[in-house]
């Protein structure tokens, strides 16, 4: 039997296992039970009533969190020379094309997001074996293949993230840091959940939002009341 640490035991004692918390309550409680010495990530897990194996029940989207993720996102822009200035002005960390393609082919992937443009996708597409497994391959659906390079970079820097349901029907994402105040955490969580609600597939039957848990690095999960999100984007 695994022995609970003192901090883990203290955290569990503060959580009522029979209670469904509102986002505001959960965010405040999460602040209390986060005991890491570093600025822990705040994560959300949303279990959906969909079958991800069916194309018409796949849930994938993008959302810009009102308070960002709390993490500095490193952005690489692969573009033609005429777009370099636009990318740099928007805050891209790395900008180029052939030189970075060569670096990536050599195994370099020290970035969080890669943004590119349609005219160079033929070149970028050759990097699929390197970028695909790391979740870095640009995709039009996530807004990372676009001619509006400046806007794309700016949105990512401000907290835009993409998400996708996994094979178990769960969407798991980081939505902030433990250093955020409770209101910022609940605002980000609400925006994330509301976006998922908007993306409910027509083919999905029965209960769509089955469960929601909020947690931080190394903390127990706090179960959220899903009633407000079963049918509409109600405020919690």
d(CA 135, CA 115): 13
Cβ distance 40 to 9 under 8 Å?
no
- 234 pLDDT band (50/70/90 cuts)? very low
Q: Which fold has domain 19-69+160-229?
A: Ribulose 1,5 Bisphosphate Carboxylase/Oxygenase (3.30.190)
Could you report the per-residue pLDDT of 42-85, keeping only the tens digit for each?
999 999 999 999 999 999 999 999 999 998 899 999 999 999 99
User: 94-96 and 75-78: which strand pairing?
Assistant: parallel
User: 222-223 and 209-216: which strand pairing?
Assistant: antiparallel
The CATH code of domain 75-147 reads 3.40.50.790
Alpha-carbon torsion, ordered 93, 63, 145, 88, to 10 deg: -20
Could you report the per-residue pLDDT of 10-26, keeping only the tens digit for each?
666 778 888 999 999 99
pLDDT of residue 4: 59
CA distances, 55 to each of 26, 52, 59, 108, 201 (Å):
33, 7, 9, 33, 10
Ordered by start, the domain boundaries in the chain are: 19-69+160-229, 75-147
């Amino acid at each position: 039997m695994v022995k609970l640490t003192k901090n883990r035991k203290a955290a569990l004692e503060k959580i009522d296992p029979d209670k469904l918390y509102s986002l505001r309550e959960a965010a405040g409680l999460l602040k209390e039970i986060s005991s890491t010495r570093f600025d822990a990530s705040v994560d959300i897990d949303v279990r959906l009533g969909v079958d991800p194996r069916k194309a018409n029940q796949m849930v994938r989207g993008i959302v810009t969190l009102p308070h960002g993720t709390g993490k500095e996102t490193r952005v690489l822009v692969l573009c033609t020379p005429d777009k370099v200035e636009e990318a740099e002005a928007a805050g891209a960390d790395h900008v180029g094309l052939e030189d970075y393609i060569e670096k990536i082919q050599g195994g370099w992937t020290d970035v969080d997001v890669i943004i590119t443009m349609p005219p160079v996708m033929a070149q970028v597409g050759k990097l699929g074996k390197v970028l695909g497994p790391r979740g870095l391959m640009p995709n039009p659906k996530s807004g990372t293949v676009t001619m509006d390079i400046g806007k794309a970079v700016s949105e990512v820097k401000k907290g835009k993230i993409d998400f996708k349901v996994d094979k178990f029907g769960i969407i798991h994402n980081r939505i902030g840091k433990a250093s955020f105040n409770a209101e910022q955490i609940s605002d980000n969580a609400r925006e994330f959940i509301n976006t998922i609600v908007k993306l409910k597939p027509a083919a999905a039957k029965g209960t769509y939002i089955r469960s929601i848990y909020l947690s931080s690095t190394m903390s127990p999960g706090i179960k959220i009341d899903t009633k407000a999100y079963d049918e509409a984007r109600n405020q919690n």
